[in-house]
Amino acid sequence: MTDLPRLALSVRQPSAWAIVFGSKDIENRTKGSIRAGRMGLGRICIHAATGLREDEYRYIAWKMQQIDVDCPAPADLPRGAIIGTVDVVEIVDQSDSPWFGGTAGLRLEDPIALDKPIPARGALGYFEWQAGGSLAEPLPWMAKYAAPGLFGGLPLCFAESPKRPWPRKT
């Protein structure tokens, strides 16, 4: 892709990956953050934020599993980069999407992945991005999700749903 939108939205992994590759059609935000971040309709870049906690990874990987999508290992998820583009087609305060879980959200369509992540710094809300820097290095906790060993390469499985790592907004 050579003609990328100038605006981006930074999303923590693995939610950013799920938007671009895994059919995540809602990005949850509060109504206040949508207003403050000047979030509107149109084509934007998806920026994979550098932050990623293990509880976030486990919960979103479990959510993907519910719709038959395998989440990559955490060390394989690019962080600190533009990874694709998507159309924001509506701002909603209710949805039947399995991805809706708050007071408001951006309804997303037509994700397109970049061939290669473009390192860039993120910011809150919509922001004008520019290429620069490098991808974030894997965090120490990510090593236990690597694929070696007898069962290497099998998808992550859960006996029960992981605890939701964010408070539910009402």
Could you read off the pLDDT tens digit of each residue along the chain, which spans 170 residues? Answer: 569 999 999 999 999 999 999 889 999 999 999 999 999 999 999 999 999 999 999 999 998 988 888 899 999 999 999 999 999 999 999 999 999 988 999 999 999 999 999 999 999 999 999 999 999 999 999 988 876 554 565 566 666 777 777 666 55
Return d(Cα 63, Cα 161) in angstroms, integer: 9
User: Is pTM, for the whole model, over 0.85?
Assistant: yes
Q: Is 99 contained in some domain? A: yes
Task: Look at residues 116, 49, 129 and name the one whose alpha carbon lies nearest to residue 84.
Answer: 116
Q: Which residues pair with 84 in a beta bridge?
A: 46, 113
Q: Is 40 contained in some domain? A: yes
Q: Is 167 contained in some domain? A: no
Query: Strand order in 42-48's β-sheet?
Result: 26-29, 104-119, 81-92, 42-48, 7-11, 126-128
Give the range of the structural domain holding residue 103, as residue numbers without chain letter: 7-145
